[in-house]
Chain A
Amino acid sequence: MTAPSPHKLEFRDPLKAKKLTARLDELVAEVGRDPVSVMHVCGSHEQAIARFGLRSAFPKALDVVMGPGCPVCITDVPEVDEAVALALQGVRVATYGDMLRVPGTVKSLADVRADGAAVEIVYSIDQALELARSEPSRELVFFGTGFETTAVATAAALLNGPPPNFSVLSAHKYIPPVMEIVTEMPGSRIEGFIAAGHAATITGSAVFEAFVRDHGVPVVVAGFEPLDILAALVRLVELIRDGKREVVNMFPRCVTREGNRVAQEQLWKVFSPTGGRWRGIAHVPNGNLRLTDAWASFDARQRHRIDVSRLWDFAPPKLLGQCVCGEIMSGSKSPRDCALFGKQCVPENPVGACMVSSEGTCRIWHQYGGHLDLRSVA
């Protein structure tokens, strides 16, 4: 066999990983609390943690919680309803594939597509623009979701001059405010945050400085390889042990303190932060990105009369009442605590949003084998 082991790739050296987990053991013991709870806010971090089985290597007294880091999952029911209503009104709706099966009040975009509505899956906003140009006489709405990273792409597309039949239904979210909400939640035990490296390439690590000052909780910016995550956790627990309130950038090969200035300018030219509900979490002040008034003509909410009331004639599915997606996203529960997980709620037949999106905690846990705690096995 000539294939190189995947472990020979940079940042995937199991020996270095073992040294880091040993160090993590020592540090957590030095902190002396059980558990020491930290939160990451990114589906890609959860993917890597699950894929490489890192959770089984974490110290038992270290609780690494996935927070509201799945943009699909935190898209709120009324936002899905708006897209569903537009599709039912005969407008072409284009969106990322994960959004199709996210439940609205009674229907998902996939449901109305099956009923004959024009719902298109796109992999980037450029494809949505192409679709709009291909049928200039028909209105196309791009249902834009995601955090800073995809919001910048949406902003750039608008700044580049979209076709006149194109508009944006923004469900874009902004991560920094929700970290404050989670920290301030009653009973929150979160002592530190791992911040997502890709979003920080745009915002810069400085965006977290005010948060650290105001809330006294350290933040470490991390990349996505196993060693990135382990090294970031080591640094974060060090900061917790020493009572240091700092932002530390452990992803300097991509992230700077200032971030991508051009992208930030584009983002704030097109969007302004407003308060709004995140599914399952709370009302998040400044957590939603809406188009500014200057872009009203490309804002689907201004351009179309969206009638969501007709969606409310049906009863919502019964199982939804037992779904704990909200608590899972705010980090107070894990899929382990859900009676539906892996039983009535599976990727082929999801009940909650966390099982729909490839970045959702439940979907990730299901894909990588479920919820058994392997720290006590074999």
Chain B
Amino acid sequence: MTKFPSLVPQNPRIAMRHGGGGRAMRMLIEDVFLRGADDFAIDGVGLAAMDDGAALRIGDRYLIVTTDSHVIHPLFFPGGDIGRLSIAGTVNDLCMMGATQLLGLTCGVIIEEGFERAVLERVQESMRACCREAGVPIVTGDTKVMGKGELDGLVINTSGFALAPRVVRDAGLQVGDRVIVTGTVGDHGLAVMAARNKLELTGELKSDVAPLFDLIQRALEAGGDGVVAMKDPTRGGVASALHEMAGKAGVGVLLDEAAVPVSEPARAASELLGIDPLHVANEGKALIGVRPAVADAVLAALRAHPLGRDAAIIGTAIAEPKGKLVLDTGFGRRLLAEPEGEPLPRIC
């Protein structure tokens, strides 16, 4: 694993940016949680890989395991809610490891004293609906209540289990590989931001939160072994996820800005807020690295699916500069910075 030098003087306290999905969070994980990560030998992909989940070999297959805690303000936002997010987020992490058969999810809920029961029921209904959509059951769970003010409303943790014949890592890019994004970028983060700031926008800006299992199966079927890397660009957006993919693979990525799909409402919101959609979270999109020979087949398979209609090839892996993203703006080129943290806290 690449060890990144600590650039910013360490603050003795955790800040919101340490949860933002950017450089600050990655460094916190490397500095604190990776201690002891290699105490045990793992047959497969373990914590030290810092991938979307773990892959544990069982016979000739892999058990994929992942876990995710969900906190979001507001709990209900245009296009989704914390319930849908908690199911889709974990399902998508399983998919990004190459899962072809979903086994089940766990659900741990921590509720603040005084939380409205009717709201909890709405959240549970949304979780159920999303489970049906993804085709995966919740098989066990846990419930806790904490005192008023000890947490803000509701925290949901879900873990997921799935099987995969072959693990798709986030580190598999080679020079010449194409990078596909499965649809428009920035919708989730910008929708949450707009909802919080009560922005009046033309058109409907909605979160893209959705379980991607079905869509990713199409890509895997069309691309076979030519699908070499996957990652979902959640917190920190495409910029953060691609930095991680490029850094782990030891390649650079040349991005064509004009090819990056951005919905009109998201474009308007990003101009208004001065935030690059490439730095904003998605909850229903995947970045897929493919060998050039299968790029068109994978793209066509994605576009034939309702969740992949806007899929596009947005970049190519290049030899230099390693671990960096070069953005071609159409006027010239610049580096796309790795975000330090999400431009706003608690969005997934």
Contact = CB atoms under 8 A, between A and B. Distances in A.
B152 interface: no
Interface string A351-369: 0000000000000001111
By CB atoms of chain A within 10 A, which of B184, B261, B324 has the most? B324
B7 A1 contact: no
Contacts of B330: 7, 14, 17, 52
A56 to B, nearest CB: 4
A344 B6 CA distance: 10
Contacts of B266: 3
Contacts of B258: 5, 7, 14
Interface string B333-348: 1111100100000000
Contacts of B326: 374, 377-378
B331 A14 contact: yes
A252 interface: no
A55 B331 CA distance: 9
Given A368-B337, A369-B337, A57 B261 contact: no
Given A2-B264, A3-B261, A17 B324 contact: no
A293 B191 CA distance: 52
Interface in B44-91: none
A370 interface: yes
A50 B336 CA distance: 11
Contact of A347 (B252, B310, B324, B340): B340
Interface in B1-19: 7-9, 17
A142 B263 CA distance: 41
Given A370-B337, A378-B320, A54 B252 contact: no
A56 B334 contact: yes
B321 interface: yes
A367 B239 CA distance: 12
Given A1-B261, A3-B262, A374 B334 contact: yes
A14 B333 CA distance: 12
A6 B258 CA distance: 8
Interface string B252-269: 101000100111101100
Interface in B238-255: 252, 254
Contacts of A370: 335, 337
Given A14-B330, A17-B330, A378-B254, A4 B264 contact: yes
Contact of B8 (A7, A55, A226, A349): A349
A363 to B, nearest CB: 11
Contacts, number: 98
B140 interface: no
B127 to A, nearest CB: 30
B332 A56 contact: yes
A367 B263 contact: no
A348 interface: yes
B184 A1 contact: yes
A377 B320 contact: yes
B331 A52 contact: yes
A22 to B, nearest CB: 13
A51 B329 CA distance: 8
Interface in A93-130: none
B307 interface: no
B327 interface: yes
Interface in A223-240: 226
Contacts of B261: 1, 3
Query: Which bucket holds chain A's interface residue count?
Result: 35 or more
A54 B332 CA distance: 5
A348 B329 contact: no
B318 interface: yes
B275 to A, nearest CB: 11
Given A346-B8, A367-B337, A372 B264 contact: no
A236 B280 CA distance: 39
B11 to A, nearest CB: 9
B252 A378 contact: yes
A372 B340 CA distance: 19
A226 B331 contact: yes
A17 B264 contact: no
Contacts of A349: 8-9
B327 A372 contact: no
B133 interface: no
Nearest to A227: B331
Given A5-B258, A378-B333, A53 B327 contact: yes
Given A14-B330, A54-B332, A372 B324 contact: yes
B296 interface: no
By CB atoms of chain B within 10 A, which of A17, A21, A58, A368 has the most? A368
Nearest to B239: A369
B337 A53 contact: no
A4 B202 CA distance: 14
A53 B257 CA distance: 11
A343 interface: yes
A5 B264 CA distance: 9
Contacts of B337: 366-370
B264 A369 contact: no
A50 B309 CA distance: 32
Contacts of B8: 346, 348-349
Contacts of B30: none
B112 interface: no
A367 B276 CA distance: 11
B7 A343 contact: yes
A314 B318 CA distance: 50
Interface string B306-319: 00011000000010
25 contacts: A3-B267, A4-B264, A12-B331, A14-B258, A17-B331, A50-B334, A52-B330, A53-B328, A54-B331, A55-B334, A56-B333, A57-B331, A226-B331, A344-B7, A346-B7, A348-B8, A349-B8, A366-B337, A369-B336, A370-B335, A374-B335, A378-B252, A378-B318, A378-B320, A378-B326
Interface of B: 7-9, 17, 184, 252, 254, 258, 261-264, 266-267, 309-310, 318, 320-321, 324-337, 340
Closest 8 CB pairs of A and B: A369-B335, A53-B332, A14-B330, A57-B332, A53-B334, A56-B332, A3-B264, A52-B331
Interface of A: 1-7, 12, 14, 17, 21, 50-58, 226, 342-344, 346-349, 366-370, 372, 374, 377-378
